[in-house]
């Protein structure tokens, strides 16, 4: 018969195992609740500032969400998009990043966190938490954000230019860009749904309206009525006007993006390209009504977690920046 001492030991081991399984660290060393002991109020502090920000400036939610994506696709999610450079040679000065906004909000959050838990929370983790809060603020899904990322030392304008996917990417380029970062074809379809919120500058798609193949033609894959509407908003050389990517509901995170794409009204060639692969096409077509909302919301959280794992620095790699715009 087991003695009470042995039994107690067994029960304690079981409790420990259950605890570990509940908050598993993934292969890269990230986990939900990484700051549980070192900065337990981190998510609360971030949310206070994002709530306050989005209540006065709701249009900052979409670019802040996009910032996490642009961080992760260049050198991994390690905060390189935030770094300044005296000669304007860091990632944020690359053309695709010039339309990012909200850097000052990340700085504000970092300042607040440094007061409460100095030297603990990375800028890369702040981006991941803010991305989730931005989606929630626009009535989208919530998910548990894995943390434990550390910040990188390098940020290079050319790397950003080559690694961020251009709006004219075709399905082959999109799939290969995602695959090279460990993301699936499903992640591609799901994360493209991020275009349910926010705006685009005209120049990201005017080639589809005025000069698709260099002969003054239009993109045959774009709905012709939609082309006429877009032409009214964007002159051929317009680089300043903003257009809603999901007209009518660009301030709400919903499934409507997939309806648009299915109707050949996705704004970018990269959106339209989702119809060119059987798997992404099937995902689009099965999410064209509100009935697909719950499944898209669940998938989006999963894919954002997957994206947040790209190329992370953990353990003793990298550093925890004191200020997000510069290395220590």
Which residues make up each annotated binding site for Ca(2+)?
71, 74, 76, 80, 91, 196, 246, 254
Instruction: Find the binder of ligand HEM among 69, 253, 257, 296 (CB under 6 A).
Output: 69
Distance of CA 272 to the CA centre of its chain: 20
**76 contacts ligand HEM (rule: CB under 6 A):** no
Please choose, out of 24-32, 82-90, 160-168, 319-327, the segment that lies near ligand HEM by the rule CB under 6 A. 160-168
Please name which of 238, 138, 145, 156 lies closest in space to residue 195, comparing C-alpha atoms. 138
Instruction: Find the binder of ligand HEM among 28, 35, 46, 66 (CB under 6 A).
Output: 66
Residues in the chain: 328
Question: What is the distance between the alpha carbons of residues 234 and 238, in angstroms, rounded to a whole number?
Answer: 6
Q: Which of 68, 70, 256, 287 is catalytic?
A: 70
Question: What is the distance between the alpha carbons of residues 131 and 214, in angstroms, rounded to a whole number?
Answer: 38
Residue 176 buriedness (CB in 10 A; 0-12 / 13-18 / 19+): exposed
Q: Catalytic residue at 70?
A: yes
Angle between helices 123-137 and 103-116 (to 10 degrees): 120
**63 contacts ligand HEM (rule: CB under 6 A):** yes
**204 contacts ligand HEM (rule: CB under 6 A):** yes
* Helix, strand, or coil (residue 175): helix
Q: Tell me whether residue 110 or residue 132 sits nearer to ligand HEM (CB atom).
A: 132
Instruction: Find the binder of ligand HEM among 62, 147, 206, 259 (CB under 6 A).
Output: 62
Residue with tokens 């509407």: 229
Instruction: Find the binder of ligand HEM among 65, 255, 284, 305 (CB under 6 A).
Output: 65
DSSP, residue by residue, 49-112: HHHHHHHH-GGGHHHHHHHHHHHHTTTSSSSGGG---TTS-SGGGSGGGTT---HHHHHHHHHH
Site string for ligand HEM, 82-121 (x = CB under 6 A): -----------------x----------------------
Least distance (Å) between residue 199 CB and ligand HEM? 4
**283 contacts ligand HEM (rule: CB under 6 A):** no
Strand ranges in 46-148 using DSSP code E only, listed in sequence order: 146-147
Q: Tell me whether residue 113 or residue 183 sits nearer to ligand HEM (CB atom).
A: 183
Residues annotated as catalytic (active site), given as ranges: 70
């Amino acid at each position: 018969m087991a003695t009470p001492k042995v039994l107690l030991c067994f029960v304690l081991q079981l409790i420990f195992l259950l605890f570990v399984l509940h908050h598993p660290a993934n292969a890269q060393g990230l986990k939900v609740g990484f700051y549980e002991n070192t900065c337990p109020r981190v998510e609360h502090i971030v949310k206070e500032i994002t709530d306050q920000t989005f209540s006065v400036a709701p249009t900052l939610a979409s670019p802040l969400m996009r910032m996490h994506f642009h961080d992760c696709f260049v050198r991994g999610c390690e905060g390189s998009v935030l770094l300044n450079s005296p000669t304007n040679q860091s990632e944020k000065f690359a053309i695709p990043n010039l339309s990012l906004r909200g850097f000052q909000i990340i700085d504000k959050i970092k300042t607040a966190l440094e007061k409460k838990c100095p030297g603990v929370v990375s800028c890369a983790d702040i981006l991941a938490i803010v991305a989730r809060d931005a989606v929630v603020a626009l009535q989208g899904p919530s998910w548990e954000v894995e943390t434990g990322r550390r910040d990188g030392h390098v940020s290079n304008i050319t790397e950003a230019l080559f690694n961020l996917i251009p709006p004219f990417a075709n399905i082959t380029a999109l799939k290969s860009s995602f695959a090279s970062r460990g993301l699936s074809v499903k992640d591609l379809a799901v994360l493209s749904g991020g275009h349910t919120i926010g705006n685009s500058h005209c120049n990201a798609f005017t080639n589809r309206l005025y000069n698709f193949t260099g002969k003054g033609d239009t993109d045959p894959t774009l709905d012709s009525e939609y082309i006429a509407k877009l032409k009214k908003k964007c002159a051929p050389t317009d680089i300043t006007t903003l257009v809603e990517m999901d007209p009518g509901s660009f301030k709400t995170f919903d499934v409507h993006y997939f309806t648009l794409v299915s109707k050949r009204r996705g704004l970018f060639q990269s959106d339209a390209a989702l119809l060119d692969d059987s798997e992404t096409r099937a995902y689009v077509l099965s999410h064209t009504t509100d009935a697909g909302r719950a499944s898209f919301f669940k998938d989006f959280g999963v894919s954002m977690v997957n994206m947040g794992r790209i190329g992370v620095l953990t353990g003793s790699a990298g550093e925890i920046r004191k200020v997000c715009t510069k290395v220590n």
